[in-house]
Amino acid sequence: MLMNTTRSLSAIASLGLLSGCTLLQPVVDDPVPSKVDELERRMQAVERVVQNESLVKLTQQVAALERRNDELQGRLETLEHDSETTADRQRQLYADLDARIQDLETALRARKSVSVMEGGTLSPGQLPLPGGSDRDNYQAAFELLKEQRYEPAAMAFKQFLVTYPDSELADNAQYWLAESYYVTQKFDEALAAFELVITTFPRSRKVPDALLKMGYCNYELKAFASARDALVRVQSDYPETTAARLAGQRLSRMEEEGV
Protein backbone atom coordinates (compact mmCIF):
# COMPACT_ATOMS: atom_id res chain seq x y z
CA MET A 1 0.00 0.00 0.00
CA LEU A 2 2.69 2.45 0.93
CA MET A 3 4.67 1.62 -2.16
CA ASN A 4 1.67 2.27 -4.42
CA THR A 5 1.12 5.63 -2.80
CA THR A 6 4.75 6.59 -3.37
CA ARG A 7 4.55 5.63 -7.03
CA SER A 8 1.43 7.72 -7.45
CA LEU A 9 3.06 10.76 -5.94
CA SER A 10 6.09 10.31 -8.16
CA ALA A 11 3.89 10.15 -11.21
CA ILE A 12 2.02 13.29 -10.19
CA ALA A 13 5.30 15.06 -9.57
CA SER A 14 6.58 14.09 -13.02
CA LEU A 15 3.42 15.39 -14.65
CA GLY A 16 3.80 18.68 -12.75
CA LEU A 17 7.31 19.13 -13.95
CA LEU A 18 6.29 18.45 -17.51
CA SER A 19 3.45 20.95 -17.29
CA GLY A 20 5.79 23.58 -15.87
CA CYS A 21 8.18 23.09 -18.72
CA THR A 22 5.37 23.52 -21.17
CA LEU A 23 4.21 26.76 -19.56
CA LEU A 24 7.73 28.27 -19.60
CA GLN A 25 8.37 27.50 -23.33
CA PRO A 26 8.75 30.90 -25.35
CA VAL A 27 6.25 31.93 -28.06
CA VAL A 28 7.86 31.58 -31.51
CA ASP A 29 5.13 32.89 -33.93
CA ASP A 30 4.37 36.35 -32.41
CA PRO A 31 2.56 38.47 -35.18
CA VAL A 32 3.36 41.92 -33.74
CA PRO A 33 6.88 42.36 -35.19
CA SER A 34 5.65 41.33 -38.64
CA LYS A 35 2.89 43.90 -38.55
CA VAL A 36 5.33 46.56 -37.44
CA ASP A 37 7.61 45.73 -40.36
CA GLU A 38 4.68 45.82 -42.76
CA LEU A 39 3.62 49.21 -41.45
CA GLU A 40 7.15 50.53 -41.89
CA ARG A 41 7.27 49.27 -45.49
CA ARG A 42 3.91 50.87 -46.24
CA MET A 43 5.04 54.11 -44.63
CA GLN A 44 8.20 54.13 -46.76
CA ALA A 45 6.14 53.45 -49.88
CA VAL A 46 3.81 56.33 -49.04
CA GLU A 47 6.79 58.60 -48.38
CA ARG A 48 8.30 57.67 -51.76
CA VAL A 49 4.98 58.44 -53.50
CA VAL A 50 4.72 61.78 -51.74
CA GLN A 51 8.32 62.59 -52.58
CA ASN A 52 7.79 61.61 -56.22
CA GLU A 53 4.65 63.72 -56.45
CA SER A 54 6.50 66.70 -54.96
CA LEU A 55 9.32 66.23 -57.46
CA VAL A 56 6.84 66.08 -60.34
CA LYS A 57 5.13 69.24 -59.15
CA LEU A 58 8.47 70.96 -58.71
CA THR A 59 9.51 69.90 -62.23
CA GLN A 60 6.22 71.19 -63.63
CA GLN A 61 6.66 74.49 -61.83
CA VAL A 62 10.19 74.86 -63.18
CA ALA A 63 8.98 74.09 -66.71
CA ALA A 64 6.18 76.64 -66.34
CA LEU A 65 8.66 79.25 -65.14
CA GLU A 66 10.93 78.51 -68.07
CA ARG A 67 8.05 78.92 -70.52
CA ARG A 68 7.08 82.18 -68.87
CA ASN A 69 10.67 83.36 -69.07
CA ASP A 70 10.77 82.49 -72.79
CA GLU A 71 7.57 84.43 -73.36
CA LEU A 72 8.89 87.46 -71.50
CA GLN A 73 12.18 87.24 -73.40
CA GLY A 74 10.28 87.11 -76.69
CA ARG A 75 8.20 90.13 -75.73
CA LEU A 76 11.32 92.00 -74.66
CA GLU A 77 13.02 91.27 -77.98
CA THR A 78 9.89 92.38 -79.85
CA LEU A 79 9.76 95.60 -77.87
CA GLU A 80 13.45 96.26 -78.51
CA HIS A 81 12.98 95.63 -82.24
CA ASP A 82 9.90 97.87 -82.37
CA SER A 83 11.78 100.54 -80.47
CA GLU A 84 14.72 100.41 -82.89
CA THR A 85 12.37 100.45 -85.88
CA THR A 86 10.50 103.44 -84.48
CA ALA A 87 13.77 105.25 -83.82
CA ASP A 88 14.95 104.54 -87.38
CA ARG A 89 11.69 105.85 -88.79
CA GLN A 90 11.90 108.96 -86.68
CA ARG A 91 15.47 109.58 -87.82
CA GLN A 92 14.44 109.06 -91.46
CA LEU A 93 11.45 111.37 -91.08
CA TYR A 94 13.68 113.97 -89.46
CA ALA A 95 16.24 113.69 -92.25
CA ASP A 96 13.53 113.95 -94.93
CA LEU A 97 11.93 116.91 -93.20
CA ASP A 98 15.28 118.62 -92.78
CA ALA A 99 16.11 118.11 -96.47
CA ARG A 100 12.73 119.47 -97.54
CA ILE A 101 13.13 122.52 -95.30
CA GLN A 102 16.58 123.15 -96.74
CA ASP A 103 15.19 122.89 -100.28
CA LEU A 104 12.41 125.32 -99.43
CA GLU A 105 14.89 127.73 -97.86
CA THR A 106 17.11 127.49 -100.94
CA ALA A 107 14.16 128.11 -103.26
CA LEU A 108 13.03 131.06 -101.14
CA ARG A 109 16.49 132.63 -101.24
CA ALA A 110 16.62 132.03 -104.98
CA ARG A 111 13.26 133.72 -105.51
CA LYS A 112 14.32 136.67 -103.41
CA SER A 113 17.53 136.92 -105.42
CA VAL A 114 15.63 136.83 -108.70
CA SER A 115 13.13 139.41 -107.52
CA VAL A 116 15.77 141.99 -106.61
CA MET A 117 17.68 141.78 -109.89
CA GLU A 118 17.33 145.09 -111.66
CA GLY A 119 15.73 144.56 -115.05
CA GLY A 120 16.27 140.82 -114.74
CA THR A 121 19.92 141.04 -115.77
CA LEU A 122 23.23 140.03 -114.26
CA SER A 123 26.55 141.70 -114.63
CA PRO A 124 29.29 139.61 -116.30
CA GLY A 125 30.92 137.33 -113.74
CA GLN A 126 28.14 137.91 -111.22
CA LEU A 127 26.40 135.11 -109.36
CA PRO A 128 22.71 135.43 -108.52
CA LEU A 129 23.62 134.94 -104.83
CA PRO A 130 27.25 136.04 -104.36
CA GLY A 131 27.27 134.97 -100.71
CA GLY A 132 25.34 131.77 -101.27
CA SER A 133 26.37 128.16 -101.76
CA ASP A 134 26.59 126.31 -105.05
CA ARG A 135 23.11 124.86 -104.43
CA ASP A 136 21.68 128.31 -103.69
CA ASN A 137 23.11 129.75 -106.89
CA TYR A 138 22.04 126.77 -108.98
CA GLN A 139 18.48 127.12 -107.68
CA ALA A 140 18.51 130.85 -108.38
CA ALA A 141 19.63 130.26 -111.99
CA PHE A 142 16.98 127.57 -112.39
CA GLU A 143 14.30 129.94 -111.10
CA LEU A 144 15.30 132.40 -113.83
CA LEU A 145 14.94 129.64 -116.40
CA LYS A 146 11.50 128.65 -115.12
CA GLU A 147 10.41 132.28 -115.34
CA GLN A 148 11.52 132.21 -119.00
CA ARG A 149 14.17 134.81 -118.36
CA TYR A 150 16.56 132.93 -120.57
CA GLU A 151 19.35 135.44 -121.04
CA PRO A 152 20.00 136.06 -117.31
CA ALA A 153 19.49 132.32 -116.71
CA ALA A 154 22.24 131.54 -119.25
CA MET A 155 24.55 134.07 -117.62
CA ALA A 156 23.81 132.61 -114.17
CA PHE A 157 24.52 129.04 -115.30
CA LYS A 158 27.72 130.10 -117.07
CA GLN A 159 29.02 131.85 -113.97
CA PHE A 160 27.96 128.90 -111.83
CA LEU A 161 30.13 126.59 -113.96
CA VAL A 162 33.06 128.97 -113.66
CA THR A 163 32.69 129.34 -109.88
CA TYR A 164 31.74 125.78 -109.00
CA PRO A 165 33.28 123.49 -111.66
CA ASP A 166 33.44 120.56 -109.23
CA SER A 167 29.92 120.91 -107.88
CA GLU A 168 27.71 117.82 -108.00
CA LEU A 169 25.22 120.05 -109.82
CA ALA A 170 27.66 121.02 -112.58
CA ASP A 171 26.27 118.51 -115.11
CA ASN A 172 22.73 119.83 -114.55
CA ALA A 173 23.94 123.40 -114.86
CA GLN A 174 25.66 122.59 -118.18
CA TYR A 175 22.51 120.93 -119.48
CA TRP A 176 20.23 123.84 -118.55
CA LEU A 177 22.70 126.33 -120.00
CA ALA A 178 22.39 124.44 -123.29
CA GLU A 179 18.61 124.39 -122.90
CA SER A 180 18.50 128.16 -122.41
CA TYR A 181 20.28 128.47 -125.79
CA TYR A 182 17.98 125.93 -127.44
CA VAL A 183 14.70 127.60 -126.43
CA THR A 184 15.99 130.93 -127.76
CA GLN A 185 16.85 129.18 -131.05
CA LYS A 186 20.59 129.63 -130.67
CA PHE A 187 21.04 126.16 -132.10
CA ASP A 188 24.79 126.33 -132.80
CA GLU A 189 25.53 127.40 -129.23
CA ALA A 190 23.02 124.90 -127.89
CA LEU A 191 24.57 122.05 -129.91
CA ALA A 192 28.03 122.79 -128.53
CA ALA A 193 26.70 123.12 -124.99
CA PHE A 194 24.77 119.81 -125.16
CA GLU A 195 27.85 118.09 -126.51
CA LEU A 196 29.80 119.31 -123.46
CA VAL A 197 27.30 117.50 -121.22
CA ILE A 198 28.21 114.22 -122.94
CA THR A 199 31.97 114.73 -123.14
CA THR A 200 32.49 116.37 -119.74
CA PHE A 201 29.96 114.36 -117.71
CA PRO A 202 29.69 111.00 -119.49
CA ARG A 203 28.05 109.31 -116.45
CA SER A 204 25.47 111.99 -115.88
CA ARG A 205 21.78 111.15 -115.98
CA LYS A 206 21.42 114.07 -118.35
CA VAL A 207 23.39 112.35 -121.12
CA PRO A 208 20.36 110.71 -122.86
CA ASP A 209 18.49 114.04 -122.88
CA ALA A 210 21.55 115.93 -124.07
CA LEU A 211 22.02 113.45 -126.92
CA LEU A 212 18.35 113.80 -127.85
CA LYS A 213 18.68 117.59 -127.94
CA MET A 214 21.77 117.30 -130.13
CA GLY A 215 19.54 115.47 -132.60
CA TYR A 216 16.97 118.24 -132.32
CA CYS A 217 19.62 120.95 -132.84
CA ASN A 218 21.01 119.21 -135.92
CA TYR A 219 17.47 118.82 -137.23
CA GLU A 220 16.89 122.58 -136.86
CA LEU A 221 20.24 123.23 -138.52
CA LYS A 222 19.13 120.88 -141.32
CA ALA A 223 22.06 118.57 -140.65
CA PHE A 224 19.70 115.62 -141.03
CA ALA A 225 22.34 112.88 -141.23
CA SER A 226 23.88 114.05 -137.93
CA ALA A 227 20.42 114.42 -136.44
CA ARG A 228 19.52 110.85 -137.41
CA ASP A 229 22.80 109.50 -136.01
CA ALA A 230 22.20 111.18 -132.64
CA LEU A 231 18.57 110.02 -132.43
CA VAL A 232 19.40 106.44 -133.37
CA ARG A 233 22.18 106.44 -130.77
CA VAL A 234 19.67 107.50 -128.11
CA GLN A 235 17.48 104.54 -129.01
CA SER A 236 20.33 102.04 -129.05
CA ASP A 237 22.23 103.24 -125.98
CA TYR A 238 19.30 104.23 -123.77
CA PRO A 239 16.36 102.14 -125.01
CA GLU A 240 14.22 102.27 -121.86
CA THR A 241 14.21 106.05 -121.41
CA THR A 242 11.79 108.83 -122.24
CA ALA A 243 14.53 110.28 -124.45
CA ALA A 244 14.49 107.10 -126.56
CA ARG A 245 10.73 107.35 -127.01
CA LEU A 246 11.00 111.00 -128.10
CA ALA A 247 13.88 110.12 -130.43
CA GLY A 248 11.65 107.52 -132.09
CA GLN A 249 8.93 110.12 -132.58
CA ARG A 250 11.36 112.57 -134.21
CA LEU A 251 12.76 109.84 -136.47
CA SER A 252 9.22 108.98 -137.58
CA ARG A 253 8.60 112.65 -138.31
CA MET A 254 11.80 112.86 -140.34
CA GLU A 255 10.76 109.77 -142.30
CA GLU A 256 7.38 111.31 -143.08
CA GLU A 257 9.12 114.50 -144.17
CA GLY A 258 11.53 112.52 -146.28
CA VAL A 259 14.63 114.04 -144.72
36-45, 88-97, 105-114: the lowest-pLDDT one:
105-114
Residue ranges of domains in the chain, CATH in brackets: 124-257 (1.25.40.10)
Percent of the chain residues topping a pLDDT of 70: 77
Give the pLDDT confidence score for residue 35 in this predicted structure.
77
CB 234 within 8 A of CB 247: yes
Q: What is the mean pLDDT of residues 209-226?
A: 98
Q: What is the mean pLDDT of residues 112-127?
A: 60
Average pLDDT, the chain: 82
Distance CA 193, CA 254 (A): 24
Cβ neighbour number for residue 166 with a 10 Å cutoff: 6
CA 91 from chain centre, in angstroms, equals 12
Render pLDDT for 202-217 as a digit per residue (tens, 0 to 9). Answer: 999 999 999 999 999 9
| Highest averaged pLDDT of the listed ranges 46-60, 97-111, 115-129, 149-163 | 149-163
Tell me 240's DSSP state.
T
Tell me: pLDDT of 180 over 90: yes
Tell me: pLDDT of 151 over 60: yes
Residue 142, class by beta-carbon neighbours within 10 Å (0-12 exposed, 13-18 middle, 19+ buried)?
A: buried
CB 212 within 8 A of CB 179: no
Q: What is the mean pLDDT of residues 51-67?
A: 80
Dihedral sign computed on CA atoms, order 239, 240, 246, 249: positive
Regarding predicted confidence, which is higher, 181 or 37? Answer: 181
